[in-house]
Structure 1
Amino acid sequence: MGVPTVVSIDPLEASIPAVETLAIDGGVPVRTAGWPTYDRGDVFISGADEQAGIDAIRRRLYFRYDHRPFGETEAGRFEAALCAYFGTKHALGCTSGTTAITLALLGLGLPPGSKVLCPAFTFAATPSAIRLAGHEPVLVECDADLNLDIADLAGKLTEDIGAVVVVHMRGFASDVDAVRALTDPRGIPVVEDAVPALGARLRGRLLGTLGAAGAFSTQSDKSINTGEGGFLITDAAALFARATVHCGAYEGRMDRHFDTPDAPPGHVSDLDYPIFGWRLDEIRAALATSMLTRLDERVARHQRNHAVVAAGLAGESRIAVRKPVAPGALLGESLMFRVLDPGPAAGARFARALCAEGVSARNIGDPVDHNVRAFWNWRFCFPDPAAAKRALPRSARFLEQAVDIPLSANLTHADCADVVRAVRKVIAGLPR
């Protein structure tokens, strides 16, 4: 059967006839061009960014603690630029977002083996970082919009909880204000895993600045792309000092991170803590400093694309598009929705059908594609996946329904139209 021609002034308003054969069933796909993703070389980078990296290589000074004054090193300049951008007192470059989360927890100085709450919907790096810091992750249910469930959090804030790690997962802000309304009276610190949400805001405030510390990544698919890397921001001097030593500032190098008027806390010594060697190198720091100047532009593009696609899917009754906890509280680099069909593996079928239409998509709970954003796949936490699902039934159900589509900052209006058309086509073509 031929593909009907749909005439519309705006391609995002094009309807998909129910008779159109899905590509997964042998029909003509919505698009044949590859979907732009970081692992296929889709990057948001300028010539100035490239030149910054080349200049750093040619200087042949790749170690952040060399003979230069700290403010003249690439890492020192990057950290100063981060403090200016976020309005924080301290910033520390490191090797990854995972190490940034770990350093924040180590910086808190919690007793070894403390229980640390985190949401059930997160990347495996979050519980890994909690383990790496020597603590025990305890999961909190997510709600229907895949955000941390505040009611479940309240019930799990027992006296043996040492900290809470909130996660701004897939660029959607967790409601840190609601979390802190529960944790502050108990004296429980909150660390923000803002790894996937660099540049996004909650009620006008940059994510990462709302708790005791914020952890970020500059890995390839993040808002700043240096291949690998990360950083920590905080206003807490003692937390920062301990994190700096753990990161690899030994033999007095911690002092370089404090300006003369802002001396390091006297009770923090670089001889008291293990040194893990998680330092950010000069080449990545140079790239990141340059990319930071265009961060707001990239965020604006992500948010524009998400708004266009979400508007194009408004009113579809067989999916529930993820909504932020507050207006604009999202990065927009990912479109997520839940497939509401009750059949088994409906989300997995939906995602596979979208891929056949030329739009990259994954079902978080796909039983074959073991996505490590599905908590029951963390064997280091849950040897029995079925038992893990029974312990967190709502989160398991929502994640089994969830479909995730990456939205590059480089998408055109036509690309956004392809997403809408592909999703509508699959909705119309899959059996009810």
Structure 2
Amino acid sequence: MASPPNLYDAEPIPDSAREEIEALLSSGDLFRYRADADSPAAALERAFAAHMGVPFALAVSSCSSALFLALKALGLEPGDKVAIPAFTFAAVPSAVVHAGCRPLLVEVGANYRIDLADFEACLEEDVKAVLISHMRGHTSDMDAILALCEARGIPVVEDAAHSLGTLWNGRKIGTLGRIGCFSFQSFKMMNAGEGGMLITQDPDIIARAVIMSGAYEHNWLKHAIVHERCRFWQNRLPLYNMRMNNLSAAVARSQIEELARRVRDGRANHDYVARLLNASPWLAVPDPLPQEERAPDSIQFNLEGFDGDAEAVAFQQAANARGVPVQIFGMSEDNARAFWNWQFIGEQRDLPKTRAMLMRACDVRLPARLTQDELDSVATALIEAAAAVKDARRNAAGPYSASA
């Protein structure tokens, strides 16, 4: 088998960004409000809003910042309950806690999507907002979720950190709820190292978010949007200083023109590897929902017929030994995606469906830049690792070995 590919490096920053980056380095003009209204951060906001087809966008320091500001901009009160999927990254319940609210975890099934029956039951517990994580780019049934929330007057925030470029019934993920939040961390479709974006069509929400992001005094005038609403909220809201700097903005904006290619290649790569893995009796990639057109930067699959945790660990070790790092969400110590590690949110009810899924759900990076030979190498390593573990079990050949 060929040498395993590098699954971690991001794509190079486009050459189109280099002139602007050099100018910023020469001037030292990295703070978005030092310049006039046409700073690189403001230019990124305009370009991203146009790409998403929404009137308002706010560049911030991370997707976590965007989620926090989204909840604050909704005007939630201290102690309000916010429903979130139990399968998400720790930053999501953290944003709820930072906003002074209480996370309410909702069951997630073996296909990584919200259990709708449990979701509907949770909405009866005086939930004031719903924060939907499209975790690892998997879209829950947004038609059902939005209908249930609309009937109860509950606002929906979309955590689209992994879903830039995903479509639901032809509409862009992040534009379905009241607010959409995106990540520009290095493993995402747009890479600024860190950074995020908040989008909305609501002028009061964007005005509140702009002020709270750190547009002190009259710096909100440099956003060129909803000045009357910003003037209204001036000095009425606290400042949290979650701004994006100009250097990160210049790095990110250059990649908007790359998105269509990255989405196309990422989907093709994912679907190619998924077909290969699904041919194994031991590995299963859940199908997308019919309304969903994904933009994956990784692949998730379930271990099938693995009777105990020892076999799951043996598979992880065997795949790693073959050069393909595998994360089993529930089997990695202190994993930030395993809800039982979120001790900061307080006691929660048992979530047996989510727990069972996390104990057998595997995660592998699958960047859009990979070639077919590299994809074959990844799939072969995973299939061989599963077969080796199951063959060892059948043959009763003793302890499982990473080199099996």
TM value normalised by structure 1: 0.86
Instruction: Write the mapping of 1:171-210 to structure 2, written as runs, cut at 5 A.
Output: 171-210=137-176
Instruction: Write the mapping of 1:227-246 to structure 2, written as runs, cut at 5 A.
Output: 227-246=193-212
3-state DSSP of counterpart to 1:224: coil
User: Deviation of residue 319 (structure 1)?
Assistant: 2.2
The 1:347/1:45 distance shift into structure 2, 3 A limit, reads farther
1:65 is matched with 33
3-state DSSP of counterpart to 2:309: coil
Q: Distance in 2 between matches of 1:344 and 1:301?
A: 34
The 1:378/1:258 distance shift into structure 2, 3 A limit, reads same
User: Deviation of residue 359 (structure 1)?
Assistant: 1.0
Moved beyond 4 Å, runs of 4+: none
- Amino acid of the structure 1 residue aligned with 2:187: D
The equivalent position to 1:121 in structure 2, one of 81, 87, 90, is 87
User: Deviation of residue 311 (structure 1)?
Assistant: 1.4
1:102 is matched with 68
Matched, 1:352 2:352: no
The 1:347/1:55 distance shift into structure 2, 3 A limit, reads farther
3-state DSSP of counterpart to 2:343: coil
The equivalent position to 1:394 in structure 2, one of 353, 358, 368, is 353
Q: Is the 8 A contact 2:311 2:389 kept in 1?
A: no
Q: Is the 8 A contact 1:101 1:215 kept in 2?
A: yes
Matched, 1:292 2:253: no
Matched, 1:166 2:132: yes
- Amino acid of the structure 2 residue aligned with 1:206: K
Matched, 1:47 2:15: yes
Q: Distance in 2 between matches of 1:77 and 1:106?
A: 25
Q: Is the 8 A contact 2:278 2:284 kept in 1?
A: no
3-state DSSP of counterpart to 1:58: helix
2:330 is matched with 365
2:400 is matched with none
2:386 is matched with 427
User: Deviation of residue 414 (structure 1)?
Assistant: 0.5
Q: Distance in 2 between matches of 1:264 and 1:136?
A: 32
Q: Is the 8 A contact 1:224 1:288 kept in 2?
A: yes
User: Deviation of residue 44 (structure 1)?
Assistant: 4.3
User: Deviation of residue 277 (structure 1)?
Assistant: 0.7
Q: Structure 1: which 5+ residue stretches go unaligned?
A: 1-29
Q: Distance in 1 between matches of 2:313 and 2:141?
A: 29
Name whichever of 295-304 and 391-400 sits farther off.
295-304
Q: Distance in 2 between matches of 1:255 and 1:109?
A: 23
Q: Distance in 2 between matches of 1:255 and 1:335?
A: 43
User: Deviation of residue 324 (structure 1)?
Assistant: 2.0
2:6 is matched with 35
Q: Distance in 2 between matches of 1:348 and 1:329?
A: 32
- Amino acid of the structure 2 residue aligned with 1:338: N
Q: Is the 8 A contact 1:122 1:373 kept in 2?
A: yes
User: Deviation of residue 427 (structure 1)?
Assistant: 2.4
3-state DSSP of counterpart to 1:380: helix
- Amino acid of the structure 2 residue aligned with 1:54: E
User: Deviation of residue 263 (structure 1)?
Assistant: 4.0
- Amino acid of the structure 2 residue aligned with 1:413: Q
User: Deviation of residue 266 (structure 1)?
Assistant: 7.1
Q: Is the 8 A contact 1:117 1:138 kept in 2?
A: yes
User: Deviation of residue 203 (structure 1)?
Assistant: 1.9
Q: Is the 8 A contact 1:197 1:207 kept in 2?
A: yes
- Amino acid of the structure 2 residue aligned with 1:289: R
2:297 is matched with 333
For residues 107-133 of structure 1, give each alpha carbon's deviation from its aligned partner in whole angstroms, at most 9, with x where no partner exists.
Answer: 101122210000010000000011111
Q: Is the 8 A contact 2:220 2:230 kept in 1?
A: no
The 1:108/1:313 distance shift into structure 2, 3 A limit, reads same
Q: Distance in 2 between matches of 1:267 and 1:181?
A: 34
Q: Is the 8 A contact 1:347 1:403 kept in 2?
A: no
The equivalent position to 1:278 in structure 2, one of 242, 245, 261, is 242
User: Deviation of residue 391 (structure 1)?
Assistant: 0.6
User: How many pairs were matched up?
Assistant: 390
User: Deviation of residue 51 (structure 1)?
Assistant: 3.6
Matched, 1:307 2:271: yes
Q: Is the 8 A contact 2:269 2:366 kept in 1?
A: yes
- Amino acid of the structure 2 residue aligned with 1:35: N
3-state DSSP of counterpart to 1:226: coil
1:7 is matched with none
- Amino acid of the structure 1 residue aligned with 2:79: G
CA root-mean-square deviation: 1.8
Q: Distance in 1 between matches of 2:61 and 2:310?
A: 37
Q: Is the 8 A contact 1:348 1:362 kept in 2?
A: no
For residues 230-269 of structure 1, give each alpha carbon's deviation from its aligned partner in whole angstroms, at most 9, with x where no partner exists.
Answer: 110000111111111110011122243244xx54327842
Q: Is the 8 A contact 1:31 1:357 kept in 2?
A: no
For residues 134-181 of structure 1, give each alpha carbon's deviation from its aligned partner in whole angstroms, at most 9, with x where no partner exists.
Answer: 111110000110111111100100252110000111122232222111
2:40 is matched with 74
2:396 is matched with none
The 1:395/1:67 distance shift into structure 2, 3 A limit, reads closer
Q: Is the 8 A contact 2:107 2:351 kept in 1?
A: yes
Q: Is the 8 A contact 1:171 1:197 kept in 2?
A: yes
Q: Distance in 2 between matches of 1:105 and 1:404?
A: 29
Identity %: 37
The 1:327/1:416 distance shift into structure 2, 3 A limit, reads farther
Q: Distance in 2 between matches of 1:152 and 1:44?
A: 43
Name whichever of 341-350 and 110-119 sits farther off.
341-350
Q: Structure 2: which 5+ residue stretches go unaligned?
A: 394-404
